[in-house]
């Protein structure tokens, strides 16, 4: 490096200082490899929901959602740091994928980060442990606010300050901090380091899975006067606790049992429920087979707000034939030994059976959910009469809905005999009494669980069924305000 000429005992002239500064700047530029000013000083790009041009939301009925968020973003040539904001708080970071729809070959992902160290009073104080802060407090004697400089020593449970030579715990007053630390953010953010070959405006699609969003079907059935027909309406209930709002989204629902890997430890976050929102009365979803599941696509864009339960119509059908069943079930241990005292009186369960066929004005795949049943009273007012959960039900299968227990039809039983014929051979006899206190005849199905190799020796009535290897079944008609006695003797080999 050339040295400026100096006169003995003289100070460097202004021109000499200027020449030295030029040499320093030139050397700095050489050491930095000739980087452009944009690469040296470019600030991170920020993309919010305002840049969003399209969003697609596919919701599974297993507390899972697939989000495809499309935004228009201008990138400079070279490396760009992109802060992709307004994503779901319950995002699964390992599922995130980004691509350019307009020019995929021009965009390379160098690094991907998920920032979730969110801004909160405790987090702010944690970042200032060991540093000086200011406290604004009101003087007890003068009534004026005074500014106090303190060092935050700890924030474990309660803040501990050092003010001058004294240590104080939980000093009253407002805490004043100089700025928000760089590593704290207001909301969860995806951060990418991208390389663009040229300066270009990209249509970027970010897709990811999120927890804490699910859907289920809710059905409402209204029975006619004699419980032989019903009108059925189905609703989709979406429960969104994912921590994001999806505006004007293309909405799809997947019905089926999708297998997922369960983590060893599951973390749960409690969030508040939102309101209930009704949509139009008619069916709005188009159903189609998809892999081994069924896909329901909404025929219009919809907004799904964060912390909201949203309802939309799924189906509507009228005059569906209903079969009401009264079933009295025994217990497996009734035929395994002797009973010194008779079992208590048994309740008779009430079921509704619906065949999901086109002939019965249905015949479409029904997602699992809750079915609630209503019936009009003598004044025409609908009253709730029971509810049950149904599983995914394909077309042409049967739905069985448990309504509750009959009030006026009861059962009673007594053991009339038990013999141990051999070590692995026994004989047991039971009598079952069904009483009907209604003003109409009813049919009751009596089902007795069996085990081992069993055979009916005698029965009253003589007609019975073996629907499977472990059940003895009787169908009996019980007259109004009357009773019927059922007796059987079985031999059981184990």
The residue with greater pLDDT, 115 or 17, is 115
Pair 436, 480 in one domain: yes
Residues of the chain above pLDDT 90, percent: 62
224: pLDDT confidence band, cut at 50, 70 and 90?
Answer: very high
Residue 455 belongs to a domain: yes
Mean pLDDT of the chain: 85
Pair 80, 110 in one domain: yes
Pair 100, 21 in one domain: no
Pair 129, 163 in one domain: yes
pLDDT of 16: 53
Residue 368 belongs to a domain: no
Q: Is the pLDDT of residue 19 over 60?
A: no
Pair 66, 160 in one domain: no
Residue 10 belongs to a domain: yes
Residue 79 belongs to a domain: yes
Mean pLDDT over 2-21 rounds to: 48
Q: What CATH number is given to the structural domain containing 412?
A: 2.60.40
- Three-state secondary structure call for residue 172: coil
pLDDT of 17: 52
DSSP annotation of 185 reads B
Encoded tokens for 218: 């809710």
Q: Is the pLDDT of residue 184 over 90?
A: no
Beta strands, E only, 423-470: 425-436, 442-449, 453-460, 465-468
Instruction: Name every residue whose Cβ is closer than 8 Å to that of residue 397 and which is 6 or more positions away in sequence.
Output: 355, 356
CA within 13 Å, CB half, 191 = 13
Residue 234 belongs to a domain: no
DSSP annotation of 312 reads E
Q: Is the pLDDT of residue 10 over 50?
A: no
Pair 48, 163 in one domain: no
CA within 13 Å, CB half, 118 = 10
182: pLDDT confidence band, cut at 50, 70 and 90?
Answer: low
pLDDT of 118: 61
The residue with greater pLDDT, 305 or 345, is 305
Beta strands, E only, 89-198: 97-100, 107-115, 132-138, 145-154, 160-163, 166-169, 174-176, 189-196
CB atoms within 10 A of CB 80: 22
Residue 407 belongs to a domain: yes
Q: Please, are residues 316 and 283 in contact by the beta-carbon 8 Å criterion?
A: yes
276: pLDDT confidence band, cut at 50, 70 and 90?
Answer: very low
Residue 265 belongs to a domain: no
By residue count, the chain amounts to 494
Encoded tokens for 63: 């507390």
Pair 87, 127 in one domain: no
Q: Please, are residues 351 and 325 in contact by the beta-carbon 8 Å criterion?
A: yes
Q: Is the pLDDT of residue 377 over 90?
A: yes
Pair 428, 410 in one domain: yes
Q: Is the pLDDT of residue 26 over 60?
A: no
Q: Please, are residues 285 and 253 in contact by the beta-carbon 8 Å criterion?
A: yes
372: pLDDT confidence band, cut at 50, 70 and 90?
Answer: very high
Element at 22 (helix H, strand E): helix 14-31
Pair 95, 23 in one domain: no
Pair 338, 407 in one domain: yes
- Considering its fold, how many domains does the chain have in total? 4
Separation of alpha carbons 55 and 246, rounded Å: 7
Residue 67 belongs to a domain: yes
Pair 488, 422 in one domain: yes
Mean pLDDT over 179-189 rounds to: 72
Q: Is the pLDDT of residue 18 over 90?
A: no
Instruction: Name every residue whose Cβ is closer than 8 Å to that of residue 292 and which is 6 or more positions away in sequence.
Output: 256
Mean pLDDT over 272-292 rounds to: 60
Report pLDDT digits (tens) over 46-104.
999 999 999 999 999 889 999 999 999 999 999 999 999 999 989 999 999 999 999 99
Pair 7, 133 in one domain: no
Report pLDDT digits (tens) over 123-137.
777 887 888 888 887
CB atoms within 10 A of CB 164: 10
Containing domain of residue 443, as a range?
A: 324-350+403-493
119: pLDDT confidence band, cut at 50, 70 and 90?
Answer: low
Report pLDDT digits (tens) over 429-456.
999 999 999 999 999 999 999 999 999 9
Mean pLDDT over 283-305 rounds to: 88
């Amino acid at each position: 490096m050339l040295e400026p000429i100096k006169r003995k005992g003289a100070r460097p002239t202004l021109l000499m200082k200027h020449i030295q500064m030029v040499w320093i700047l030139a050397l700095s530029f050489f050491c930095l490899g000739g980087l452009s000013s944009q690469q040296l000083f470019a600030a991170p790009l920020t993309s919010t929901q305002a840049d969003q041009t399209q969003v697609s939301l596919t919701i599974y009925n297993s507390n899972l959602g697939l989000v495809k968020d499309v935004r228009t973003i201008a990138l400079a040539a070279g490396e760009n740091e992109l802060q992709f904001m307004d994503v779901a708080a319950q995002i699964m970071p390992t599922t995130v994928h980004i691509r350019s729809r307009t020019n995929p070959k021009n965009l390379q992902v160098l690094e991907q980060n998920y920032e979730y160290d969110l801004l909160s009073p405790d987090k702010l104080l944690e970042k200032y442990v060991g540093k000086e802060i200011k406290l604004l407090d009101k003087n007890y004697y003068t009534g004026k606010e005074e500014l106090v400089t303190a060092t935050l020593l700890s924030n474990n449970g309660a803040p501990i300050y050092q003010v001058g030579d004294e240590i104080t715990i939980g000093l009253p007053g407002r805490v004043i901090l100089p700025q928000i630390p760089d590593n704290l953010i207001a909301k969860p953010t995806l951060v990418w380091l991208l390389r663009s070959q040229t300066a270009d405006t990209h249509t970027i699609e970010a897709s990811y899975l999120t927890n804490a969003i699910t859907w289920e079907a809710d059905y409402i059935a209204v029975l006619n006067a004699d419980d032989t027909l019903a009108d059925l309406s189905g609703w989709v209930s979406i429960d969104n606790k994912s921590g994001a709002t999806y505006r004007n989204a293309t909405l799809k629902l997947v019905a089926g049992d999708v297998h997922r890997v369960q983590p060893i430890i599951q973390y749960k976050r409690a969030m508040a429920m939102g309101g209930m929102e009704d949509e139009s009365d008619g069916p709005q979803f188009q159903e189609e087979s998809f892999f081994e599941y069924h896909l329901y696509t909404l025929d219009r864009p919809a907004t799904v707000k964060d912390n909201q339960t949203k309802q939309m119509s799924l189906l509507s059908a009228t005059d569906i034939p209903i079969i009401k069943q009264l079933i009295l079930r025994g217990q497996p241990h009734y035929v395994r030994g002797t009973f010194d005292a008779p079992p208590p009186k048994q309740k008779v369960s009430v079921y509704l059976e619906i065949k999901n066929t086109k002939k019965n004005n249905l015949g479409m795949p029904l997602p699992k959910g809750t079915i609630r049943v209503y019936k009009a009273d003598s004044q025409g007012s609908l009253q709730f009469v029971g509810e049950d959960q149904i599983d995914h039900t394909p077309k042409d299968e049967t739905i069985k809905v448990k309504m509750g227990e009959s009030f006026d039809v009861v059962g009673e039983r007594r053991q009339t005999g038990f013999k141990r014929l051999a070590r692995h051979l026994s004989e047991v006899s039971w009598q079952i009494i069904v009483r009907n206190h209604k003003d109409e005849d009813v049919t009751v199905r009596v089902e007795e669980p069996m085990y081992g190799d069993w055979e009916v020796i005698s029965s009253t009535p003589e007609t019975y069924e073996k629907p499977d290897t472990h059940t003895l079944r009787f169908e009996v008609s019980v007259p109004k305000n009357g009773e019927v006695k059922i007796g059987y003797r079985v031999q059981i080999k184990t």
